[in-house]
Chain A
């Protein structure tokens, strides 16, 4: 059941960008408890802040009214100056100045050193969070990322929006 704030936002998005827009409403959440101690677990970082590697990737389609359900894969030793943001729906100041705000690779390596986290998965998965038409994400791209991470032995994921 949508509250009045979401009702108003839904009407605005339908009017301005995508007439077919509707907030996703789920009755329940899926559940997979962590099956080993965090200190032994492999953790992946996932963000929807629209980061991509400018010398390798095509940017996200930031101005598409339907959004862009695709993802980019970035190695965690990629020099920061090769990362750019393609996302037309948030203020980039903080993420552009400091990628740790969205994909906290350095902080997680510190947590591995401290023994809090077992291992940090080396590949970062990046999406663009503006997505008024999420069907392809739900049916294809998000399950594809899930299968890849599962096949790589990832136990847990830490996700940030923007």
Chain B
């Protein structure tokens, strides 16, 4: 997915990725990535949990607007609900 973000960015489209694997992202280097400690298959949070999903989206959009350095990775403090 970071590869797709890079292609979009090269055509002038600003991108933000939500990611679950920090190791891969540090190598692929998409322009902006929000690292969430969530399981594969649930990038924005659990099914049916609109509050968590929206919190991740808002955090990612904050990063889209505020990042100033290519390859920025922000670690999300949003926790997977028990």
A positions within 8 Å CB-CB of B: 2-3, 5-6, 23-35, 38, 44, 46, 48-49, 90-95, 97-98, 100-102, 104, 107-108, 110-111, 116-117, 127, 129, 134, 137-138, 142-143, 145-147, 149-150, 154-162
Query: Of B8, B17, B42, B44, which is within 8 A of A142 by CB?
Result: B8
Mask of B17-43 contacts with A, CB within 8 angstroms, 1/0: 111110110011111000000011111
Query: For the complex, what is the distance from the CA of A90 to the CA of B53, rounded to whole Å?
Result: 19
Beta-carbon nearest neighbor of A134 in chain B: B3
B positions within 8 Å CB-CB of A: 1, 3-21, 23-24, 27-31, 39-48, 50, 53-54, 57-58, 60-61, 64-65, 70-71
Q: A6-B23, A97-B48 are in contact. Are A162 and B70 (CB under 8 A)?
A: no
Q: Are A158 and B6 in contact (CB under 8 A)?
A: no
Interfacial chain A residues near B13, Cβ < 8 Å: 32, 44, 146, 149-150, 154-157
Query: For the complex, what is the distance from the CA of A26 to the CA of B14, rounded to whole Å?
Result: 18
Query: Of B11, B18, B39, B47, which is within 8 A of A146 by CB?
Result: B11
Q: A24-B27, A97-B47 are in contact. Are A34 and B14 (CB under 8 A)?
A: yes
